[in-house]
């Protein structure tokens, strides 16, 4: 499969998925959607949420690989926001 076809099957990138998800939430909160439109928007929102979670998980795995030391141990660093790493 070519790279462009492969990218198309993966769905939107993280930023695009997040933008679309935010727009869906605004439309749903507006209350003007029919039941069928709301259900379709909810279903799309679930798909986008899963895509975002997958993209974040893949990014986290890439960071862990980059932080892995030569001896195989893993270096844990605090997030850029200044929060301490979890337990």
Which residues 6+ apart lie within 8 Å of 68 measured at CB?
A: 74, 75
Which residues 6+ apart lie within 8 Å of 78 measured at CB?
A: 84, 85
80 band by pLDDT with thresholds 50, 70 and 90: low
- Stated length of the chain: 87
- Flag the least confident range among 5-9, 35-39, 80-84: 5-9
pTM: 0.63
Q: How far apart are CA 13 and CA 7, in angstroms?
A: 9
Task: Encode pLDDT of 19-50 as tens digits.
Answer: 999 999 999 999 999 999 999 999 999 999 99
Q: For 3-67, which CATH class?
A: mainly alpha
CB atoms within 10 A of CB 19: 12
């Amino acid at each position: 499969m070519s790279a462009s076809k492969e990218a198309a099957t993966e769905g939107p990138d993280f930023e695009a998925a997040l933008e679309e998800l935010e727009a869906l939430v605004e439309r749903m909160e507006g209350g003007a959607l029919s039941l069928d439109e709301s259900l379709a928007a909810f279903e799309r929102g679930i798909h986008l949420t899963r895509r975002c979670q997958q993209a974040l998980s893949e990014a986290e795995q890439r960071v862990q690989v980059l932080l892995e030391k030569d001896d195989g141990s893993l270096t844990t660093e605090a997030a850029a926001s200044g929060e301490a790493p979890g337990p």
